[in-house]
């Protein structure tokens, strides 16, 4: 860009349950719109349960 402005190279997502981090994902997308569904599917593959309600805080 050459104007002194930085753009993020990766997007870090994390899931929290009762004050504990339950899952972390790093994605090459600069915005959250393309990362939620892959994040949840990846988390479901490795955990023995599914969350019924998901709250998104921005």
* pTM tops 0.95, yes or no: no
Q: How many domains does the chain have?
A: 1
| Per-residue CA distances from 30 to 3, 7, 8, 21, 27 (Å) | 19, 8, 6, 22, 8
Per the structure, the complete domain to which residue 11 belongs is given by: 1-58
Per-residue pLDDT of the chain (58 residues; tens, 9 = 90+): 567 777 667 888 888 888 999 889 988 887 778 888 888 888 888 888 888 888 887 7
The pLDDT score that the predictor gives to residue 46 is: 87
């Amino acid at each position: 860009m050459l104007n002194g402005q930085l753009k993020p190279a990766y997007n870090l997502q994390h899931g929290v349950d009762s004050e504990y981090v339950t899952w972390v994902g790093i994605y090459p997308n600069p915005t959250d719109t393309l990362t939620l569904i892959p994040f949840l599917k990846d988390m479901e593959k490795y955990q023995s349960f599914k969350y019924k309600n998901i709250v998104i805080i921005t």
